């Protein structure tokens, strides 16, 4: 039997969540759909393919305070940032939830990143299966699925009578406490994500193509605008700096991108990745080679955001195919 939550019941459940927690949900903002805190159900966008920005910023904000420093005479007090707010995310897509779980690799690796860990602990994720994968989507090729419930606390799948409910974790069960679910014999089904990207064996292929001129050719058209990193659910590089405001000092971290000029420039001026080719290679080798070597999964979940956002059509799906092709040639000794 399938547990069903009616549309009206979903709305009143979300309204009750908003009373004592921050509810973050997809919201239409001008031409975009973005995860935003919402104060009423009317603000929530239920009809969307995916948000323009990934929900990683709910765990890894664009700008996050690490600690504050206060000076009193000759004394100095350092106060670490603490995340107190309980947050519920409604409408996270399975690919994005997988992106968050993927980033547990580096961020919870010892010594754990305390802010990431706190955000994770304070957040409950209500996933929404994709009933209409977008043309740029390729999550199935990357090992997930439009109804993958592995990385959310609760997964909802739209059906005629409302939403089929799959309770995945104890946290999800707590959030659903007291919510009345109907039983039904409807079988929730979602279409598969059809784009076929040959990701199998990509780690080995990428390694073989590392020194190929492919990268600099590809980078010729890159304008290092960094949009790929900002929309990506698994890009996690950052910068750390201080911000001051009338005697108050905050050490903050901000998003940064490996495509930025000077990303690796060291004191004295030497930059091991001074040209665009080596920087672009870094982006794809991080996702397809280093990340899986270090943490297991690929650093791409197939959300397709970079595909639509890139102004010069650098397309990770094509790159994966190209690398496979080039890698196979190296294997045959004809390159």
Partner 1 sequence: MVKEATEKVIPNPFVPYPATLKSVIDLTPDVKLFTLELDRGEDEFDYKPGQFAFVSAFGVGECPLGLTSAAHRKEGLQFAVRRVGSVTNALHQLEPGAKTGVRGPFGNFFPVDDYNGKNIIIIGGGIGFAPLRPVINTILDNRDGYADILILNGARTPQDLCFAAEFDDWAKSPRTKLELTVDAGDENWNGRVALIPDVVAELEPSPKDAIAIICGPPIMIRFTLTKLKQLGFANEQIVTTLEGKMKCGLGKCFRCNVGDKYVCRDGPVFTFEQISQFIEQF
What residues make contact with partner 1 under the rule CB under 8 A?
A: 66-67, 69, 71, 74-76, 78, 80-81, 101-102, 104-109, 111-118, 120-121, 151, 169-171, 207, 210, 236-242, 244, 249, 251, 253, 256, 258, 263-268, 270, 272, 278, 282, 285-286, 289-290, 293-294, 296-297
CB of 330 to partner 1, least distance (A): 14
CB of 261 to partner 1, least distance (A): 12
CB of 163 to partner 1, least distance (A): 22
Q: What does the alpha-carbon distance between residue 102 and residue 122 come to, in Å, rounded to a whole number?
A: 18
Q: Taking each helix axis from N to C terminus, what angle separates 276-285 and 316-331, rounded to the nearest 10 degrees?
A: 90
Instruction: Return the number of the residue (46 or 290) whose C-beta is nearest partner 1.
Output: 290
Residue ranges of alpha helices (H) inside the chain are 7-20, 94-108, 114-122, 170-175, 202-208, 214-219, 227-231, 276-285, 291-295, 305-309, 316-331
Q: What does the alpha-carbon distance between residue 34 and residue 80 come to, in Å, rounded to a whole number?
A: 29
Instruction: Return the number of the residue (117 or 159) whose C-beta is nearest partner 1.
Output: 117
Per DSSP, 112 falls in state P
Instruction: Return the number of the residue (46 or 67) whose C-beta is nearest partner 1.
Output: 67
290: its two tokens:
């280093």
CB of 54 to partner 1, least distance (A): 17
Please answer whether residues 123 and 152 qualify as being in contact, where contact means their C-beta atoms are separated by less than 8 angstroms: no
107: its two tokens:
């961020």
Instruction: Return the number of the residue (131 or 207) whose C-beta is nearest partner 1.
Output: 207
CB of 199 to partner 1, least distance (A): 18
Instruction: Return the number of the residue (9 or 256) whose C-beta is nearest partner 1.
Output: 256
CB of 127 to partner 1, least distance (A): 13
Instruction: Return the number of the residue (77 or 160) whose C-beta is nearest partner 1.
Output: 77
Instruction: Return the number of the residue (122 or 182) whose C-beta is nearest partner 1.
Output: 122
Instruction: Return the number of the residue (28 or 122) whose C-beta is nearest partner 1.
Output: 122
Residue ranges of alpha helices (H) inside 113-201 are 114-122, 170-175
The 8 Å CB, 24+ separation contacts for 117-122 are 118/82, 118/83, 119/58, 119/59, 119/60, 119/83, 119/87, 120/59, 122/83, 122/84, 122/85, 122/86, 122/87
Per DSSP, 265 falls in state P
CB of 133 to partner 1, least distance (A): 23
CB of 61 to partner 1, least distance (A): 14
* 207 Cβ neighbours under 8 A, 6+ residues apart: 289, 327
């Amino acid at each position: 039997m399938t547990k069903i939550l009616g549309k009206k019941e979903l709305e009143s459940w979300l309204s009750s969540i908003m009373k004592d927690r921050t509810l973050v949900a997809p919201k239409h903002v001008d031409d975009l759909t973005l995860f935003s805190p919402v104060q009423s159900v009317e603000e929530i966008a239920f009809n969307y393919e995916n948000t323009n920005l990934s929900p990683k910023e709910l765990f890894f904000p664009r700008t996050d305070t690490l600690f504050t420093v206060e000076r009193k005479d000759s004394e100095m007090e350092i106060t670490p940032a603490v995340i107190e707010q309980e947050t519920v995310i409604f409408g996270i897509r399975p690919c994005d939830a997988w992106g968050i779980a993927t980033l547990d690799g580096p961020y919870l690796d010892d010594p754990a990143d305390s802010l990431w860990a706190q955000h994770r602990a304070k957040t409950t994720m209500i996933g929404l299966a994709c009933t209409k994968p977008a043309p740029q989507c390729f999550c199935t090729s990357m090992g997930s699925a439009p109804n993958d419930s592995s990385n959310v606390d609760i997964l909802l799948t739209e059906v005629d009578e409302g939403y089929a409910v799959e309770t995945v974790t104890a946290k999800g069960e707590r959030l659903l406490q007291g919510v009345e679910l109907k039983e039904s014999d409807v079988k929730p089904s979602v279409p598969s994500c059809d784009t076929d990207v040959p990701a199998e064996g990509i780690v080995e292929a990428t390694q073989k193509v590392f020194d190929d001129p492919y990268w600099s050719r590809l980078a010729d058209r890159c304008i290092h605008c960094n949009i790929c990193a900002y929309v990506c659910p698994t890009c996690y590089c950052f910068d750390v700096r201080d911000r001051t405001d009338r005697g108050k000092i905050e050490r903050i971290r901000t998003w940064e991108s490996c495509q930025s000029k000077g990303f690796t420039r060291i004191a004295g001026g030497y930059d091991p990745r001074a040209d665009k080719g080596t920087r672009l290679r870094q982006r794809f080798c991080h996702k397809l080679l280093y990340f899986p070597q270090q943490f297991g999964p690929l650093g791409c979940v197939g959300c397709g955001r970079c595909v639509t956002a890139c102004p010069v059509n650098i397309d990770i799906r094509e790159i994966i195919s190209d690398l496979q092709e080039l890698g196979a040639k190296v294997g045959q000794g004809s390159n």
